[in-house]
Amino acid sequence: MELAKPQIKEVSKPIPIVKVSDLSLPDTDKYGWLSRYINLLLVLNITLFVSSGLVTKRGYWFCLLASSIIILINGLVLNPWSNPKSRKLYQVVFWLTVLVTYLTVASVIYWIQHDSK
């Protein structure tokens, strides 16, 4: 007497193994939040300080310095010869953004203290 061989059904397709590196965002997407924040700071500097007359009446230059650094940051990110995946470029852009944030907050504090009339 022979034993019957068990019938094994074949699974249609095996589940693929996904690597963690496949789930991460590309390196160029790390500038997304930074560019939106930089543009927000530029609009904030122009609307609060340049249009209010703080620059022309009192000669306050922090907001103009912050705006020029923002233009420099946009030039660094958008120029064709830089590598957006470079860690050094991202660190330079990040620390320049921290400097712009400091200058903008200092401008807001100065504006509240001196131009609240």
Distance between CA atoms of residues 11 and 111, nearest Å: 70
What is the pLDDT, as a whole number, of residue 15? Answer: 64
What is the pLDDT, as a whole number, of residue 25? Answer: 46
What is the pLDDT, as a whole number, of residue 100? Answer: 92
What is the pLDDT, as a whole number, of residue 79? Answer: 81
CA dihedral angle for residue 55, residue 60, residue 63, residue 69, rounded to 10 degrees? 120
What is the pLDDT, as a whole number, of residue 76? Answer: 85
Helix boundaries (H) for 29-117? 31-45, 54-58, 62-78, 87-114
Q: Which residues of the chain have pLDDT under 50?
A: 23, 25
- SS3 assignment, position 28: helix
Considering the entire predicted model, what is its pTM? Answer: 0.66
